[in-house]
Amino acid sequence: MSSRRTTAIAGSLVTAAFSAVLILSCTASADDQGPGSSQGGKAMDAAPAGVKLTTLLPSKISVDNSTQKTAITATVKNQGTKDSGKIQLLVVGFDGLTVKNVQGCSAIGKNDLPAGSNSGFACPIDNLAAGKSKSYAVDATYDLKKQGKICLPVQAGDGKKTYWQQGPVPFGTTNPSPNAPATPLLLGTDNKPVAPSGGELPKTGVGQDLLPLGAAGAALLTAGAAGLWWSTRRPARQLRG
């Protein structure tokens, strides 16, 4: 076999191996958050006929212990038989979980945030076709010394009705790992905060109970004596600040 042919074959093998590594790396990265889950979600106001809106959150996320940064994928789906028309997805953070940015969305003004929340973004959607979904990359931080929750309401485009609401649902771990590079958190798990003294910190956070507000068409999130009122007095465009 000539040296030129040997070199060509070797080059092809290297290229194939490199491509395989890329494919495997991309696959592993895409699967980091596990399958999506609608845990903690509930239908609220009646959606238009033929429209069935739900949301999905990853089953697990990972928090960098040095920077407190984490990434979350928030997905809204139309499982109905008709197009949704104008809607909006809200991404709201509570307690230890702070939403820093949602790609393609606008921050909700501080005065328009629900009581008890620390951050939020509004994602307007002109139309979500039947059977389709739309996902958003969410950049967040998580203070592991606290509990942390996230909420995904899906509203009419004008914000006057809430068709679906997931959460506030917690991400957390019962086995903190402060000395590791990152801490994995599971959806639907109350976080066990890391206390410097070794003792457990007092629990904080808004509960997961969901109640429809009724005729006003907004969402009321209850946690014992603490309630969260989503005001519908301002149109959706003002909510986005």
Q: Is residue 38 over pLDDT 60?
A: yes
| Overall average pLDDT of the 44-57 stretch | 98
* pLDDT of res. 129: 98
Residue 21 pLDDT: 33
Q: What is the pLDDT of residue 7?
A: 44
pLDDT, tens digit, for every residue of 71-112?
Answer: 999 999 999 999 999 999 999 999 999 999 999 999 999 999
Is 175 part of a structural domain of the chain? Answer: yes
Q: Give the chain's mean pLDDT.
A: 77
Residue 123 — pLDDT band, cuts 50, 70, 90?
A: very high
- Predicted pLDDT of residue 33: 66
More confident residue, 113 or 209: 113
Write the pLDDT tens digit of every residue in 128-169.
999 999 999 999 999 999 999 999 999 999 999 999 999 999
Does any domain span residue 18? no
Contact 40, 94 (CB under 8 A): no
Is the pLDDT at 197 greater than 70? The verdict is: no
Dihedral, 111, 114, 115, 116 alpha carbons, nearest 10: -120
The domain that holds 147 is classified in CATH as 2.60.40.10
pTM of the prediction? 0.70
Q: Which tops the pLDDT comparison, 62 or 209?
A: 62
Instruction: Name the residue range of residue 65's domain.
Output: 34-239
On the question of pLDDT at 178 being above 90, the answer is: no
For 206, half-sphere exposure in the C-beta direction (CA atoms, 13 angstrom radius) is 26
Instruction: Decide: 51 and 146 in contact? Cβ < 8 Å.
Output: no
Please state, in angstroms and rounded to a whole number, the distance separating the CA atoms of residues 168 and 153.
Answer: 9
Asked if the structure places residue 135 within a domain, the reply is yes
Which pLDDT score, from 0 to 100, does residue 34 have? 65
- What does each C-alpha distance from 97 to 72, 120, 122, 146 come to in angstroms? 11, 11, 17, 9
pLDDT over threshold 70, residue 235: no
Q: Is residue 22 part of a domain?
A: no
Residue 228: is its pLDDT beyond 60? no
Q: Which residue has the higher pLDDT, 12 or 125?
A: 125
Domains: count for the chain: 1
The distance of Cα 164 from the centroid of its chain, to the nearest Å, equals: 14
CA 6 to chain centre: 52
pLDDT of residue 160: 95
* Contact residues for 189 (Cβ-Cβ < 8 A; gap 6+): 170, 171, 172, 173, 174
In a domain, 164, yes or no: yes
- pLDDT band of residue 177 (cuts 50, 70, 90) is confident
CB atoms within 10 A of CB 40: 21
In a domain, 6, yes or no: no
